[in-house]
């Protein structure tokens, strides 16, 4: 039994597309990929005439170290959104297989499943927003291939402990791949599920530079999983997924100075999150501020539509999450700069007294 037994047989048998850049290395006159021999003329254009490395070694090694894993267990993707799509396509046969999600949660799991023609089974979070391990495991049936667990969860901000994640992985062994989405892990400061992969071949972890590393525009995500799973996904990932300017941006962000700034930035978010949670709880019209381990707060309002409109009229855009189950009165507010957060508080306080 291998975790690959869960994957689509046709994908397992497929050969990866072999791109020109993969086939030849070491040459200095590159005439094998129909690139332009001349770089573009604008400043910073050097090297852009060449196709990028499909999985740049320096970035793979840096991300492996950052996430407590090894290079053979790392796949760098265009945002973790792409990793979700690749997992869905590699594991779920259209019209036959499916995924399990715990709503309210991140929307892309279900979107990718629907595009692939995979069924979406829901194991809702408990009324207090916590994840019940037994409910999640029980929802995984014979056709389930992927079980998603988002921690800290978007949009509620709640965290699932590593012990619980491990129990779920054990219960799903041989039945499904447990995909742990840690997009907001840096704001929680808890140990990563990547350390479970040694003992649990059915655990895969999603990470991203989009949130705590300030690089949403560069689209750099990482899947950490067993080498067999990484190898399988490399058969279906597009040949050159990572634009070279994005790779350079990621390496800069992960350098010594970049890491120093990142720690400072995350620290600022945590301080502001605590300040906003306390302040929002005293605003008339706020029913509840959900405890959050991420860089946002889910806030229940007596009049969510009114609060949304007042903020919008003042130029502040927050996320309306009232369509999520159990959050019919809630807005999700990202933690901004101190000044931006003050503006949110001022608008809500003024509106509440009007």
Ligand X SMILES: *Cc1c(COP(=O)(O)O)cnc(C)c1O
Nearest CB to ligand X, comparing residues 118 and 286 = 118
Nearest CB to ligand X, comparing residues 80 and 102 = 80
**Peptide bond preceding 152 in cis form (omega within 30 of 0):** yes
By CB atoms closer than 10 A (0-12, 13-18, 19+), residue 99 is buried
Task: Please state the closest distance from residue 151 (CB atom) to ligand X, in A.
Answer: 9
Nearest CB to ligand X, comparing residues 106 and 310 = 106
Task: Please state the closest distance from residue 70 (CB atom) to ligand X, in A.
Answer: 21
Nearest to 191 by CA among 215, 162, 167: 162
Nearest CB to ligand X, comparing residues 82 and 97 = 82
Nearest CB to ligand X, comparing residues 192 and 210 = 210
* Residue 331 backbone phi and psi in degrees, to 5: -120, 150
Pull the structure tokens for residue 285: 């019209």
Nearest CB to ligand X, comparing residues 213 and 308 = 213
Task: Please state the closest distance from residue 164 (CB atom) to ligand X, in A.
Answer: 18
Task: Please state the closest distance from residue 79 (CB atom) to ligand X, in A.
Answer: 3
Task: Please state the closest distance from residue 129 (CB atom) to ligand X, in A.
Answer: 15
Instruction: Give the number of other Cβ atoms within 10 Å of residue 132's Cβ.
Output: 14
**HSE value, Cβ hemisphere, 13 Å, CA-based, for 225:** 27
The answer to whether 51 touches 21, Cβ cutoff 8 Å, is yes
Q: Which long-range contacts (CB under 8 A, 24 or more apart) does 40-48 make?
A: 44/245, 47/244, 48/244, 48/245
Q: Residues interacting with ligand X, by CB under 6 A?
A: 79-81, 106, 150, 154, 181, 183, 208, 210, 216, 221
Nearest CB to ligand X, comparing residues 137 and 220 = 220
Task: Please state the closest distance from residue 154 (CB atom) to ligand X, in A.
Answer: 4
Instruction: Give the residue closest to ligand X by C-beta.
Output: 79
Task: Please state the closest distance from residue 348 (CB atom) to ligand X, in A.
Answer: 24
């Amino acid at each position: 039994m291998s975790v690959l037994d869960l994957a689509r047989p046709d994908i397992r048998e497929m050969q990866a597309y072999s791109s020109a850049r993969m086939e030849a290395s070491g040459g200095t006159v590159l005439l094998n990929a129909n690139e332009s021999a001349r770089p573009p003329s604008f400043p910073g254009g050097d090297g852009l005439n060449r196709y990028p490395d499909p999985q740049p070694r320096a970035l793979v090694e840096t991300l492996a170290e950052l996430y407590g894993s090894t290079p053979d267990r790392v796949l760098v993707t265009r945002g973790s959104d792409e990793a979700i799509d690749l997992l869905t396509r590699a594991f779920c046969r259209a019209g036959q297989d499916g995924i399990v999600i715990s709503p309210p949660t991140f929307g892309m799991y279900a979107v990718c499943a629907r595009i692939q023609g995979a069924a979406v089974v829901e194991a809702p979070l408990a009324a207090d927003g916590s994840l019940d391990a037994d409910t999640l495991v029980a929802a995984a049936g014979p056709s389930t291939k992927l079980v998603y667990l988002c921690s800290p969860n978007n949009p509620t901000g709640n965290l699932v402990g590593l012990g619980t994640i491990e129990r779920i992985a054990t219960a799903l062994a041989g039945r499904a791949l447990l995909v742990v989405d840690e997009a907001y892990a840096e704001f929680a400061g808890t140990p990563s599920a990547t350390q479970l992969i040694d003992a649990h071949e059915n655990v895969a972890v999603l990470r991203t530079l989009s949130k705590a590393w300030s690089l949403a525009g560069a689209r750099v995500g990482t899947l950490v999983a067993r080498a067999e799973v990484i190898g399988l996904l490399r058969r279906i990932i597009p040949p050159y997924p990572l634009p070279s300017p994005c790779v350079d941006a990621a390496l800069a962000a992960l350098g010594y100075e970049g890491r120093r700034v990142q720690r400072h930035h995350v620290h600022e978010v945590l301080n502001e999150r605590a300040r906003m949670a306390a302040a929002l709880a005293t605003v008339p019209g706020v029913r509840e501020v959900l405890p959050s381990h991420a860089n946002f707060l889910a806030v229940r309002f007596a009049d969510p539509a009114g609060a949304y409109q007042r903020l919008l009229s003042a130029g502040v855009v927050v996320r309306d999450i009232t369509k999520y189950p159990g959050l019919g009165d809630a807005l999700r507010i990202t933690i901004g700069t101190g000044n931006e957060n003050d503006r949110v508080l001022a608008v809500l306080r003024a509106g509440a007294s009007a």
